[in-house]
Amino acid sequence: MDSLTHIVIGACIGEAFAGKKLGKKAMLWGALVQSFPDIDFIAGAWLNPAENLLAHRGFTHSLLFAGIAVTLLALLAERLHRPHNISLKTWILFFIVEMLVHIFIDGFNAYGIGWLEPFSHHRFSFNAIFVIDPFFSIWAGIAFLLLLIIKVHRRKRKFWWKFGVMLPALYLCYCCINKIKIDSAIKKTFSAEHISYTNYFSTTTPFNNLLWYTVAETDSGFYVGYRSLFDEQLRMQLHFFPRNEYLLKNVSDQAALQNLKRFSKGFYTASLQNDTLVFNDLRFGQIAGWQNADAPFAFHYFLQYSDNALVVQRGRFAGWSKGSIAALLERISGDQPWRLLK
């Protein structure tokens, strides 16, 4: 998830563990430890963009790193707060919960996370929630602000940390239920359309959990489409993108190409954009693809020159306008004409 979400959820968990003993310092520790795995951004200072893609949410999001970091941070906190009546075991439990919550939540995004690094490079991704989902984050944000205001010994604080932790947890469960429903409906569509696929995934479109984006891999390319939870028709508009593997045969930087293929989990195409060879990772969706079936993919990596700064983020920020937002809301509302927003 985004950094702000980790900060506010971490602060609420901090209040739950140590608010009575540390006061609002518990929120600070919670926010700090919850955010700690994201120190991997430092790697961008010496890694090239393709390598940095694999470093992000890699070792610093692994169970091994969590164990090492928690031990060191707990020893530091225990020493800094002397004299106190919090045992080292309590510090460790507090911090391990924070760290595990961070890497657990991140596993539900499309990016993928290396829980088993460095022993296995497999990236876990359940594709159940968009990396920035206001309906997930807002509850912890409200609780965080109120916990900053309410005095330390007020009983209301207990209600608000529970509010900030439980509602995001319930929303994540809701997202997982939605994914199960969507996957079932989409697979029925593929069966009805006689589409044979070798690999498949679905994930949410930006900032919501109602409209889903799906990709099905065949021998020569990928079928891409969108389905809303409010769709009633079995039929679904699908658009085919050829893989174009032949375009990648003469790429000079084969090491970067192999890193990109590994990062994409095989969901990639190659294309030419103004005579520039582009590697597209299909897992991150299209730029307003619900509005234009031929829209470029949000993740696009230029293979012939080095302008790949913010390679993941730039596609997320592109293509937004009043028209694309209206089209998103209309598509979310479903495929029945009487439901469409005007």
Lowest mean pLDDT among 43-47, 52-56, 108-112, 313-317: 313-317
Mean pLDDT score, 153-160:
95
Mean pLDDT score, 314-322:
76
Place of tokens 């520039």: 276
Q: Given this model, what pLDDT does residue 252 score?
A: 84
Contact between 325 and 206 (Cβ < 8 Å): no
Categorize the per-residue pLDDT at 312 as very low, low, confident or very high, splitting at 50, 70 and 90.
low
Burial of 166 (0-12, 13-18, 19+ CB in 10 A): middle
Residue 104 scores a pLDDT above 50: yes
Domain ranges of the chain: 3-175, 193-332
Residue 66 scores a pLDDT above 70: yes
Report the distance separating Cα 84 and Cα 124, nearest Å.
39
Could you tell me the two tokens for 229?
Answer: 């939870």
Residue 339 scores a pLDDT above 70: no
Residue 340 scores a pLDDT above 60: no
Mean pLDDT score, 292-308:
83
Mean pLDDT score, 161-173:
98
pLDDT per position as a tens digit, 6-44: 999 999 999 999 999 999 999 999 999 999 999 998 887
